[in-house]
């Protein structure tokens, strides 16, 4: 069995979800957590597009390495295969539940931020000024300690995680 998979989901897969996957991957690598992070969108309108240049710039300024990215729409099989799905807005969770009824392990990014209000959404920075991308990164980073703690638990409970 492969490493557990945590998928971040937003609308177009060019801003919030790829930013979250980059940050989570960096945190996991730094802490030695064996979980795969990915991102996808609910819409196909940005299909094939790279990460938004403003998102990439914010990540680079913060010291994160940016891998090539092609926006894509999440599939039913990916939803079913994910160990955990993390959406940015309630609407994203509703769409994922409509795609695969009875989903478990479905959360908002803010569910992992101890300072966030219950149900708080992560607004789409695409519609705002460049500073909105800085705010998005702050929200993502605030959620990371708890996301990484949960990822560590997932990795520890994976069938192939036993020491050799």
Considering the entire predicted model, what is its pTM? Answer: 0.95
What are the tens digits of pLDDT across the range 18-29?
Answer: 999 999 999 999
Q: Is 135 exposed, middle or buried (0-12, 13-18, 19+ CB in 10 A)?
A: middle
Residues of the chain with pLDDT under 50: 161-164
Q: CA-to-CA distance for 122 and 103, rounded, in angstroms? A: 21
Q: CA-to-CA distance for 146 and 108, rounded, in angstroms? A: 12
Q: CA-to-CA distance for 11 and 73, rounded, in angstroms? A: 9
- DSSP string covering 79-119, please? HHH-SEEEESSHHHHHHHHHHSTT--SEEEGGGG-TTSPTT
Q: Which domains does the chain have, with CATH numbers?
A: 5-161 (3.40.50.2300)
Backbone φ and ψ for 26, nearest 5 degrees, come out as: -65, -45
Instruction: Tell which residue, 52, 65, 73, has the closest CA to residue 22.
Output: 65
Active-site positions read 10, 16, 124
Q: CA-to-CA distance for 26 and 37, rounded, in angstroms? A: 10
Helix (H), strand (E) counts: the chain: 5, 4
Strand partners, 106: 85
What are the tens digits of pLDDT across the range 51-82?
Answer: 999 999 999 999 999 999 999 999 999 999 99
What pLDDT is attached to residue 162? 43
What pLDDT is attached to residue 160? 62
């Amino acid at each position: 069995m492969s490493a557990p998979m945590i998928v971040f989901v937003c609308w177009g897969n060019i801003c919030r979800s790829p930013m979250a996957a980059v940050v989570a991957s960096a945190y996991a690598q730094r802490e030695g957590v064996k979980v795969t992070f990915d991102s996808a969108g609910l819409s196909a309108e940005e299909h094939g597009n790279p990460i938004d240049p403003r998102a990439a710039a914010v990540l680079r300024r913060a010291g994160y390495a940016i891998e090539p990215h092609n926006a894509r729409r999440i599939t039913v099989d990916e939803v079913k295969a994910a160990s955990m799905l993390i959406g940015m807005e309630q609407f994203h969770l509703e769409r994922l539940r409509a795609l695969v009824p009875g989903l478990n392990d479905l959360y908002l990014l803010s569910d992992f931020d101890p300072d966030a209000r219950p149900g708080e959404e992560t607004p789409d920075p695409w519609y705002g000024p460049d500073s909105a991308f800085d705010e998005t990164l702050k929200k993502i980073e605030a959620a990371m300690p708890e996301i990484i703690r949960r990822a560590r638990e997932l990795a520890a409970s994976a069938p192939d995680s036993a020491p050799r």
